[in-house]
Amino acid sequence: MTTDSYTALAFYVIAGLMVVGALGIVLLPRVVHAALAMVFVFFLISGIYVLLGADFIAATQIIIYVGAITVLFLFAIMLTNRSYAPDSNPANSQWMAATGVAVLTFGSLAALVSQANIPQSSDVSAGLGDVTLALGQLLMGPYIIPFEIAGVLLLAAMIGAIVIAKES
């Protein structure tokens, strides 16, 4: 097998498992299980990033989503009531309309991207040097203002979360 077919195999395995996991998030009856399915999906998305040569983003995905955000969600689930009840992840009365909207959205998006003529560079894997180094130089160079604003945003979110969640 060539490298191309290995990549194709990895892509199809990851994509299939990811769709199963995403369906698990919306269909599993217990909200704790839905959160665990979400962890599964986040892991697989990090695998997609590795396939795309984005090593740093893959590591960031694991640390922030699988590590931090998942713990946050599990805390929120455990702190609210009946988190392990068999009906803790119910659908509302509009689930049929929601199905229609989701199917239509996927249909139009898929039709759009399959018909779009996106110019691609032919040699996509060559010349991919130290991506992490280049990312750091970008963040400290042309993107320094958004980078600093992101820091301020995180501080504001932290203070806001403490103020909102504090018992008055």
Partner 1 sequence: MPITLTHYLVLSALIFSIGLFGVLAKRNVVAILMCVEVMMNAVNIALVAISHYRLVPAGNLVSGLNGQVLTLFVITVSAAEASVALAIILAIYRGRRTVNVDEVNLMKW
Which of the residues 112 through 151 are near partner 1 (CB under 8 A)?
Answer: 113-114, 118-124, 126-129, 131, 134-135, 137-139, 143, 146, 150
CA angle 147, 150, 152 (to 5 degrees): 115
Q: Site for partner 1 (CB under 8 A): which residue of 13, 140, 144, 153?
A: 153
Q: Site for partner 1 (CB under 8 A): which residue of 101, 140, 144, 148?
A: 101
When asked if residue 75 is in the footprint of partner 1 (CB under 8 A), the reply is yes
Joined tokens for residue 17? 């498992």
Pick out residues in 20-49 that bind partner 1 (CB under 8 A).
22-23, 25-26, 31, 34-35, 38, 41-42, 45, 48-49
Joined tokens for residue 9? 């195999």
CB of 59 to partner 1, least distance (A): 11
Could you tell me which residues come within 8 angstroms of residue 43 by beta carbon, excluding any fewer than 6 positions away? 62, 66
When asked if residue 66 is in the footprint of partner 1 (CB under 8 A), the reply is no
When asked if residue 8 is in the footprint of partner 1 (CB under 8 A), the reply is yes
Q: Site for partner 1 (CB under 8 A): which residue of 17, 43, 59, 60?
A: 60
Joined tokens for residue 78? 């455990």
When asked if residue 103 is in the footprint of partner 1 (CB under 8 A), the reply is yes
CB of 17 to partner 1, least distance (A): 11
Cα–Cα dist 21/42, whole Å: 9
Q: Site for partner 1 (CB under 8 A): which residue of 17, 59, 62, 73?
A: 73
- Burial annotation 11-37 (CB, 10 A radius, 16+ → b, else e): eeebeeebeebeebbeebebbbbbbeb
The alpha carbon of 11 is separated from its chain's Cα centroid by a whole number of angstroms, namely: 16
When asked if residue 59 is in the footprint of partner 1 (CB under 8 A), the reply is no
Q: Site for partner 1 (CB under 8 A): which residue of 84, 95, 144, 148?
A: 95
Cα–Cα dist 140/148, whole Å: 10
